[in-house]
């Protein structure tokens, strides 16, 4: 079993288009083919489908070297490599605006290179989530894709993640959804605009978890998965 297509669409929608999957391709082509900075302190220069160079130091070469080297800008790979592990800025955006990454390249790296690793990371961070169905697993993959797994010196994030783990152990679908929503307390440190977007994404993930009760075929999932 893998994560659901709905979960994959959710990740793409929120990484590119503020939750609107049908707008993702057109918005990417208009705004995000060039490296960009989301504007928050935690993020670095970002390319592709939410590929944050600040947090991908160990993966960048394998994920992007071949594709960036094939772009019309011959030094794209080396120039972007300079932004690994550092915070983003508007100056970094301006310095790389001549680099353009096509949608197809962005999607290939996302689907083939990065998504499988995040699916596994979610399973590792939240043991047993793979037994709750593809929607719950996919929602937590989205959470990890967006927020990572580290909780050191982040008590509110740790509290939410611990709640999710406890809910998985109890096989409580509603508990998993509630744990995701607990992350909103952690997001209050962000600017109001960014926090609103993060809160909406957590709500979308929680709603997807609750759909665990409905399989793609329209059948009710086995009732041993508690919604209490």
Q: What is the pLDDT of residues 143-173, one digit of tens each?
A: 999 999 999 999 999 999 999 999 999 999 9
pTM for this entry: 0.89
Only one residue has tokens 């982040």, namely: 154
Residue ranges for the chain with pLDDT beneath 50:
215-228
Domains of the chain: which residue ranges?
Answer: 1-22+115-228, 34-101
Inter-helix orientation angle 134-147/192-210, to 10°: 160
Q: How many residues belong to the chain?
A: 228
């Amino acid at each position: 079993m893998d994560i659901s297509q709905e979960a994959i669409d959710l990740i793409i929608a929120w990484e590119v288009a503020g939750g609107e999957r049908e707008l993702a391709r057109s918005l990417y082509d208009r705004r995000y083919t060039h490296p960009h900075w989301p504007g928050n302190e935690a993020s670095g220069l970002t390319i592709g489908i939410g590929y944050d160079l600040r947090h991908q130091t160990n993966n960048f070469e394998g994920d992007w070297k071949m594709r960036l080297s094939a772009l019309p800008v011959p030094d794209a790979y080396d120039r972007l490599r300079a932004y690994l592990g550092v915070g983003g800025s508007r100056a970094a955006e301006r310095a790389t605006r001549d680099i353009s990454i096509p949608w197809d390249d962005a999607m290939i790296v996302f689907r083939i290179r990065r998504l499988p690793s995040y699916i596994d990371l979610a399973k590792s961070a939240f043991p047993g989530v793979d037994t709750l169905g593809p929607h719950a697993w996919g929602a937590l993959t989205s959470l990890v894709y967006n927020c990572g797994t580290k909780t050191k010196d982040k008590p509110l994030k740790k509290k939410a993640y611990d709640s999710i783990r406890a809910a998985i152990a109890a096989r409580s679908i509603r508990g998993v959804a509630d744990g995701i929503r607990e992350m909103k307390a952690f997001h209050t440190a962000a600017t109001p605009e960014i926090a609103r977007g993060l809160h909406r994404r957590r709500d979308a993930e929680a709603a997807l978890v609750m759909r665990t009760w409905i399989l793609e075929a329209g059948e009710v999932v086995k009732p041993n998965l508690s919604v209490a």
